Structure 1
Amino acid sequence: MSTTGTNAGTSTGTGTTLVIGATGVTGSRTVARLVAGRHRVKAASRRATPVPGAEPVRFDWYDPATHATALDGADRVYLIPPIGDADPLATMRPFLGEARAHGVRRAVLLSSSAIPEGGPAVGKVHEALPGFFEHWAVLRPSWFMQNFTGAHAHALSIREEGAVWTATGSGRIGFVDADDIAEVAVRALTDERAPDTDLVLTGPEVLGYDDIAEIVSDVTGRPVEHRRLSYEQLRDRLAALIPVEFAAMLAEMDRAIAGGAEDRTTDTVRRVTGRPPRSFRAFMASAESEKTGA
C-alpha cells in the first residue's frame, strides 16, 4: 500500500467488496466512497437496508444462515466486529473461515487505537486475522469525532445536560473524523498492495475533554462542560445501558486515557490519503452548519 499518497486512485478494479455494518458510522462512508470509485459493493446489514449504488444483503453475526449469501462473489471484506460482544473472536471465527473458503483474499478490520494486537476483545481478532487472509489491514482509529453529533452518547448528554461525562481526567486524545477513517479503509481495500499491518489513525491534534467542551461551546453558542467521573462512577453509569462487562471495558479505556495512553497523533491519514486529517473544530463547524442549513 502506498504510504505517500502518490498511489491515489490505484485499485485492483476487478473484485467485489463486502462491507459489514454498511449502515454504520464508518461502514456507510466506506460504501459511499467505494461506489463513487466505481467498485462493486455488497452492503451488509441486519435488515439488508438499500444503499445507493450497492447490492444490499442481509447479514447478522449471530445468524450463520445469512453468511454464505453475503459472501457470494466477494473477494474482499470490511469487518465491523459485533458491537458489545466481549469475545468477538468466538463469534467471528467461523465466518472468517467461511470467508476464506468462499474466495475472500483481503480483509480490513475495524479495531481501536486503545486495543493492540492480542489485546482484549477485538485485539484477539486482530491477532488471528493474518492466519485467515493473504492480504489484510487492521484500522485502529482513535475516538470518533462523530461521538459528539447525532444520536451518540456524548451528543445526547450535550443536548440534554450541557455536559460531557468521562473518567479521562486531564488525559488527551487524537480524535479522528470517521470520513478520514473511511478514506483509509477504501485505500486498504482497493490499493494494489494491502498494508498487511495495523494502522493507527488520529486527527491532527490531541485534545482533552475540557478542550472538547470549550470548542463545542464556542462553535454552537451553547455552554457545555466536562464533568469528571471516577472509573467506578462511569462503569456504573454505562452498566445501566449496556452489559456490565462491556461497560467495565469502556470505563477502563477512560482510565487509560487519564494515564496518557491516547496522548498521541500519527501521520497515517496524510501518508495514506495524501491529505491532512480534519481538525475537531473544522468538524464541529461543518456539523453545525449542516444542522442549521447555513
Structure 2
Amino acid sequence: MSGLQLVVVTGATGAVGRHVVRRLAGTARVRLIVRDADRARALGLTGDGEGGPEVVTADYGDLERLRPAMEGADAVFVVTANPLRPEHDEHIVAAARGGGVRRAVKLSWLAVADPAADDLVARWNRRAEEVLRRSGLDWTVLRMRSPMSNTLAWAATIRAEGVVRAPGGDARTPCVDPRDVADVAVLALTCTGHEGRTYALTGPRPLSPREQAQVLSRVRGTPVTFEELTPEQALANWLRKLPAPVARALAEAAVRRAAGGAEDVEDGVRAVTGRAPGTFETWAADHGDLFR
C-alpha cells in the first residue's frame, strides 16, 4: 500500500467527490480534506482499519491548515463550492505547490465555455481555472454539465406530493452522471496523458426537467406531475436558501438554459474512459428508493 500514489481529495462529501474517493480505493492512498468529518463517516467514506482514507478537517479559507494536508501527496482533486470565496481555489493550489504536489485536477462547469455566460458562478469558475493554469502544476480541468444528482432536490416533494416544482420545464440539458465525472477524474489523477487538457463532460442526450419528471414517474411506478415555477418564483426560492448574489446567478443561468444555451452534447466521458456516458434513466433507477 505504501508504494501507491497519495491523492488528496477536496470536496470529498460532494456529488462527485464521494465517488472519486470510492473509486480510488485500492488504486491509491487517499487523504480527504473535509469540513465535517462526521458527514464523511456517515457517507461511508472513511473506511475502517488500516488502509482506509486519512481524514484532515480543514476550512479552505485557512491556508496554514491546508499546507500540512498536502505534504507528500502526488495529486489533488480540486473542488470548491462558494463563488463568494474565490480565495479557496488559490489556497488549495498554493498549499499543493508548497507540499510538492505534481498533479491537480479541477472540477469546473461547462458554462465557462459559453461566451454569453457572465453571471457570478461563471466568472468564479473562469477565475479558478486560470489560477490552476498559472500554478505550475500539471493540470487538468473537468467542465461538467449539471449533475443528474441535482434532481435529488425534488425528492422531498416527490415523496410527499408526487410533484416536481421547478423553472424552465422545457429547457433541455444533457445532465451528467456524477459517477462518470468521477471515473474521468480518477483517470486524470492517477494516469499520465491528461496534463494540460480540458474535458467537457455531459450525458448522452439533453432532457428537460419535465422529461426528467416523467422518467422519475416510471421509476416510482406512480405519477409525478410537473409544476413550472415562474422566474420570479424560482428566484424567491433560491433567495430563501442562498446568498443573494448566488441566487441571482442561478436565475441568470436558468434564463440561458431556457434559451437553449445548455443543450449541446459533448464527448469528454467517452474520450477519457472509452465508453459512453450513462443515461438519466439508469441513474434514476439506481437511486429510485430516494424518490419513493
Q: TM-score range by the shorter chain?
A: 0.7 to 0.9
State which drifts further: 53-62 or 91-100. Answer: 91-100
Q: CA deviation at 1:145?
A: 1.3
The answer on 1:15 being equivalent to 2:5 is yes
Match of 1:214 in 2: 214
CA contact (8 A) 2:174 2:205 kept: yes
Match of 2:201 in 1: 201
Task: Give the TM-score taking structure 1 as reference length.
Answer: 0.85
Distance 2:35 2:247 in 1: 24
Letter in 2 for 1:28: R
Distance 1:47 1:126 in 2: 26
The answer on 1:111 being equivalent to 2:114 is no
Distance 2:174 2:123 in 1: 21
CA RMSD of aligned residues (A): 2.2
Distance 1:272 1:194 in 2: 9
Q: Bigger relative contact order, structure 1 or 2, given CA contacts below 8 A and separation 6+? A: 1
Q: CA deviation at 1:59?
A: 2.2
The answer on 1:225 being equivalent to 2:225 is yes
Distance 1:171 1:291 in 2: 22
Q: Percent identity?
A: 34
- The within-5 A match list for 1:12-91 is 14-36=4-26, 38-48=27-37, 49-50=40-41, 51-52=46-47, 53-81=52-80, 83=81, 85-91=82-88
Structure 2 unaligned blocks of 5 or more = none
Q: CA deviation at 1:170?
A: 1.8
Letter in 2 for 1:40: R
Q: What count of residue pairs does the alignment treat as equivalent?
A: 274
Q: CA deviation at 1:135?
A: 1.1
Match of 1:4 in 2: none
Match of 1:8 in 2: none
Q: In the superposition, relative to structure 1, how do residues 157 and 112 fare at CA in structure 2: closer, same or farther (>3 Å)?
A: farther
- The within-5 A match list for 1:1-294 is 14-36=4-26, 38-48=27-37, 49-50=40-41, 51-52=46-47, 53-81=52-80, 83=81, 85-116=82-113, 119-149=122-152, 153-288=153-288
CA contact (8 A) 2:61 2:87 kept: no
State the 4+ residue runs in structure 1 displaced beyond 6 angstroms: 289-292
CA contact (8 A) 2:159 2:291 kept: no
Distance 1:92 1:258 in 2: 30
Q: In the superposition, relative to structure 1, how do residues 222 and 277 fare at CA in structure 2: closer, same or farther (>3 Å)?
A: same
Distance 1:22 1:192 in 2: 23
Residues 34-75 of structure 1: per-residue CA shift (max 9 Å, x gap) = 113x21110121134451221111121123342122112112
Say which SS state the counterpart of residue 25 (structure 1) adopts: coil
Letter in 2 for 1:43: L
